[in-house]
């Protein structure tokens, strides 16, 4: 038997099998849909987790051969499933193969930066599917008036209502032609909606999608099953609330938890097949760690395929999408203190608990932190586990974490870029870091003072209704801002140093410790003290308090016992936008 090859970028099931591609068998997804015939099923997973390939597989499995009568490919495609899991479950499932007319729409490319272009692409997707079923025009299933509209849809000359009627009409035509109900598969249904949110045409695109989906799915007597995929369930605009009890399976759901992405067993088998078992531990650290259904560990399939196809290039982050990454910055900007502190904890691997939502209202992402963290979960930037009931409401608290090294690099890059964008003076920042590492503390202090005076706004440290908080909590949150600002600055220090925050040394926890990988070089300890401009303490007093704490808590000795002989302890006082340092 010819050895199978790892093929990149192929999300058409038939093309993958025909080209002898290595296929991680997910055909049991079809079995589960047959066994649980909910009329509408929405499955949400992060981008590039195999949604399109799975939907393509379902199309080839369920679709009646006559649906492809005008295609150049073979009419009978049952050979594609020979030896795969679905055909091992008995005659019941074999009989379902090739039984139904199928409408298949993938909206993953309908994401232009304006509504007119996105609408044009949506029309093209619908036109292409109408064209694929143009055999309907040959008989007497359609009236002459219906044929005229059908042809207008194909040539992109129909009105917008006739495009939003497309699913409803086409299912009726196909049922009349085949005498059996129709399967409707829509891949990446929310891609145009997310693009509308980012690019300012959210109202227009949600109105279009709501109209098309509700008319196509609600009380449609020609519909057998509808299967949709996306990144998340969108809660607003009645897109799903008007359906007849759709089954929604998110990353928090048990159902289909192993059908998207690769399980540990699947990755181990692939590594063994390719002779890469010696690399498994590194592969796990880089690409697994996602948790679907709260207990099923999943690998990022996009990154696994990219790595397995070219292992000589080494382990690196492949899963990158700059438009989605903007959401991380927006999360941190909801509350610069809380957002940066949570991201800092996540990067350090510390426990973080959040209330998460399965239904996301896009307009709330920038206003409500829980919605924003929920978005990051559904988009694949976080994993959730250890579900707990929250009070008497229908809310649940989850522990959240960064899944793996690959995603952690995205967070680190985002913190760095966030810091650079806020300051817009990256050359000066590099000078600050350089002066510290050269031991020129006087220059380091001077440049840091300039940075604060020019770039830090008092608005940066403000929090909504902070006046309502106790004075001690106000102080803590203001000081946390300076801590987060300095931590963001030190993220630029490079890979030859480790930056630690609030880690125990000596008799306490210094604010920031910077450790060189070469223990012959200096290590740095920072302790911060802050007071508002209305406070009575001077900058000198604040710096002295920080210096006293460094001595009394024996921070220096705590770092020295780790093998660092040269340890520089720096006390920093902040008063408003003014800064003063002292070296212990």
At a CB cut-off of 8 Å and minimum separation 6, what does 34 contact? Answer: 92, 93, 96
pLDDT band of 460, cuts 50, 70, 90 = very low
Q: What pairs with residue 298 in β-bridges?
A: 263, 290
Q: What is the mean pLDDT of residues 130-145?
A: 93
Cα 191 from Cα 106, distance rounded (Å): 10
Scan for tokens 């992405």, then name that residue: 261
Write the DSSP symbol of residue 136: G
* pLDDT tens, position by position, 499-544: 888 889 999 999 999 999 999 999 999 999 988 777 788 999 999 9
| Segments of 278-333 assigned E as strands | 290-292, 296-299
Strongest mean pLDDT among 200-214, 419-433, 482-496: 200-214
* Closest to 54 in 3D by CA, of 111, 131, 122, 106: 106
Element (H, E) at 45: none
Element (H, E) at 535: none
DSSP string, 204-246: HHHHHHHHHHHHHHTT-TTEEEEEEEESSEE-STTTTTTSSS-
What is the percent of the chain where pLDDT is above 70?
85
Element (H, E) at 451: helix 441-455
* pLDDT tens, position by position, 231-274: 988 765 557 766 667 888 999 999 999 999 999 999 999 999 99
Write down how long the chain is: 584
Please report the domains of the chain, with CATH numbers, ordered by start residue. Answer: 13-249 (3.40.50), 262-313 (no CATH), 322-407 (no CATH), 427-583 (3.40.1350)
pLDDT band of 331, cuts 50, 70, 90 = low
Tokens of 177: 């032609």
């Amino acid at each position: 038997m010819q050895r199978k090859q790892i093929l990149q970028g192929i999300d058409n099931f038939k093309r993958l099998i025909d080209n002898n591609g290595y296929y991680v068998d997910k055909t049991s997804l079809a079995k589960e849909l047959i066994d649980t015939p909910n009329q509408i099923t929405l499955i949400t997973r992060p981008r590039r987790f195999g949604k399109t390939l799975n939907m393509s597989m379902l199309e080839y499995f369920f679709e009646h051969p006559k649906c492809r009568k005008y295609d150049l490919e073979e009419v009978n495609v049952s050979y594609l499933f020979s030896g795969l899991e679905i055909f091992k479950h008995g005659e019941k499932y074999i009989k379902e193969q090739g039984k139904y007319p199928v409408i298949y729409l993938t909206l993953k490319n309908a994401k232009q930066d304006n509504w007119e272009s996105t609408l044009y692409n949506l029309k093209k997707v619908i036109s292409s599917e109408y064209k694929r079923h143009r055999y309907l025009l040959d008989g007497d299933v359609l009236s002459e008036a219906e044929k005229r509209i059908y042809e207008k849809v194909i040539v992109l000359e129909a009105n917008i209502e006739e495009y939003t009627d497309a699913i409803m009409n086409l299912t009726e035509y196909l049922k009349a032609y085949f005498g059996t109900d129709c399967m409707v598969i829509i891949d990446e249904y929310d891609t145009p909606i997310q693009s509308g949110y980012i690019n300012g045409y959210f109202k227009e695109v949600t109105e279009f999608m709501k109209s098309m989906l509700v008319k196509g799915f609600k009380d449609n007597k020609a519909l057998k099953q509808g299967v949709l995929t996306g990144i998340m369930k969108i809660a607003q605009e009645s897109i799903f609330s008007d359906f007849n009890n759709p089954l929604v399976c998110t990353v928090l759901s048990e159902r289909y938890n192993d059908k998207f992405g690769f399980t540990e067993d699947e990755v181990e088998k692939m590594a063994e097949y390719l002779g890469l078992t010696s690399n498994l531990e590194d592969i796990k650290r880089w690409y697994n760690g996602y948790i679907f259904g709260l207990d099923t560990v999943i690998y990022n399939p996009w990154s696994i395929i990219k790595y397995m196809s070219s292992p000589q290039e080494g382990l690196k982050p492949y899963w990158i999408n700059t438009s989605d990454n903007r959401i991380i910055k927006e999360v941190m900007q909801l509350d610069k203190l809380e957002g940066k502190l949570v991201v800092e904890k996540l990067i350090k691997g510390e426990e973080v608990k959040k209330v998460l939502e399965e239904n996301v209202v896009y307009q709330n992402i920038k206003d409500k932190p829980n919605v924003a963290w929920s978005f990051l979960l559904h988009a694949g930037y976080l994993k959730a586990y250890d579900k707990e009931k929250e009070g008497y409401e229908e809310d649940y608290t989850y522990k959240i974490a960064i899944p793996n090294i690959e995603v952690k690099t995205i967070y680190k890059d985002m913190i760095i870029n966030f810091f650079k964008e806020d300051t817009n003076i990256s050359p000066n920042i590099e000078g600050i870091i350089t002066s510290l590492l050269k031991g020129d503390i006087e220059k380091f202090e001077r440049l840091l003072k300039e940075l604060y005076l020019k770039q830090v706004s008092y608005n940066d440290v403000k929090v909504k209704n902070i006046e309502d908080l106790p004075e001690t909590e106000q102080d803590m949150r203001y000081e946390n801002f300076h801590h987060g600002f300095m931590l963001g600055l030190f993220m630029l220090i490079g890979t030859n140093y480790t930056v630690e925050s609030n880690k125990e040394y000596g008799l306490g926890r210094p604010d920031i410790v910077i450790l060189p990988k070469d223990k012959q070089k200096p290590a740095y300890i920072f302790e911060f003290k802050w007071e508002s401009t209305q406070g009575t303490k001077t900058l000198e007093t604040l710096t002295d308090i920080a210096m006293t704490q460094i001595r009394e808590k024996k921070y220096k000795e705590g770092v020295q016992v780790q093998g660092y002989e040269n340890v520089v302890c720096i006390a920093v006082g902040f008063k408003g936008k003014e800064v003063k340092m002292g070296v212990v």
